[in-house]
Amino acid sequence: MIKRFLLLGLIISLAILVIGCVPTPKAELTVLSLDPPDMNCGVVALSCTTTVTVTIVNTGSVDAGPFKVLVQADPGFAQQQGTISVSGLAAGANTTLTIALPPGGNCFNPDCSICITVDLDNEVIESNEGNNYYCETTIG
């Protein structure tokens, strides 16, 4: 009789341990692709605009709610930057965003680095918060 109670207790403890170890499904936002930036400079100094197209993907198993994407041209220098609000992204889906950054310096001086921060304000609970920042340099 005691062996049955011990065995039953062991089974219940194991079941609780297994159930407690099942990870909670989460969204996972990251940059899928980043197109080379498009520069348009007028004749006036510091009038260059940079247009950036980026594709964001949710590789998680849960839909992501609203989030913001920060786009920066040449971070750390006299930079251009802008923010795009995304209303949400279904699990397994992607979205392509295009933003024209406000006038500023020429990003190609001589090269142009574009950095993307997905989920800028950490509004979405993700399985990996460490992969929300991506940079790519285009040789001028």
What's the pLDDT at 56? 98
pLDDT of residue 43: 73
pLDDT the model gives residue 114: 93
pTM, two decimals, is: 0.81
pLDDT at site 78: 61
Domain enclosing residue 40, as ranges: 25-138
78-104 pLDDT tens trace: 678 899 999 999 999 999 999 998 887
In the predicted structure, residue 34 carries a pLDDT above the cut 70: yes
CATH of the domain at 83: 2.60.40.10
The count of structural domains within the chain is 1
Buried b (16+ CB within 10 A) or exposed e, 13-37: eeeeeeeeeeeeebbbbbbeebeeb
**127 falls within a domain:** yes
